[in-house]
Amino acid sequence: MNEGGRRLTELVDEVFRLADAFARAGDELVAAEGLTSARWLTLGAVAHGPLSVAAIARRRGLRRQSAAEGVAALERAGLVERIPDPADARAPLVRLTGAGRAALERIRPLRTEWAERTAEVAAPSELAAAATLARRLRDAIDPR
């Protein structure tokens, strides 16, 4: 394997470990709200307007079944509700309830503090470069 392939393999291993660490950190951050990081991501996906379950899955990089299970749990908790989609009667839209919006508002300062504290390990330019590289790699692998 050439140097680029070795480095990419090393990066993939680190990204998987980082994704797990982010999920655990997110779980801790939102535990007081009775949420998991995955459900928090779903709430965030619909924070700016209603989306279908399929759109939530695409936006958050989830399987549709996982997104549907998360939506069902959030719906049972009263944090989201399903409403008719005027463009497609077969697939309802998911939107935040007042309780869901309030939960996101309570989480926001915790997320800000965590992000600012965690970002101290790197210069802003390094973080920007890492995000740019992650997007380029994602587009090369899955250009949807």
Band of residue 62 on the pLDDT scale cut at 50, 70, 90: confident
How many domains does the chain fold into?
A: 1
Q: Please say if the pLDDT value at position 144 is more than 80.
A: no
Q: Please say if the pLDDT value at position 7 is more than 90.
A: yes
d(CA 55, CA 130): 26
Band of residue 46 on the pLDDT scale cut at 50, 70, 90: very high
Residue numbers of the domain that contains 133: 3-141
- Give the DSSP H/E element, type plus range, for residue 83: strand 80-83
- We report the CATH number of the domain holding residue 18 as 1.10.10.10
d(CA 36, CA 60): 14
Segment 52-79 mean pLDDT = 93
Residue 55 has a pLDDT of 94
Segment 57-78 mean pLDDT = 93
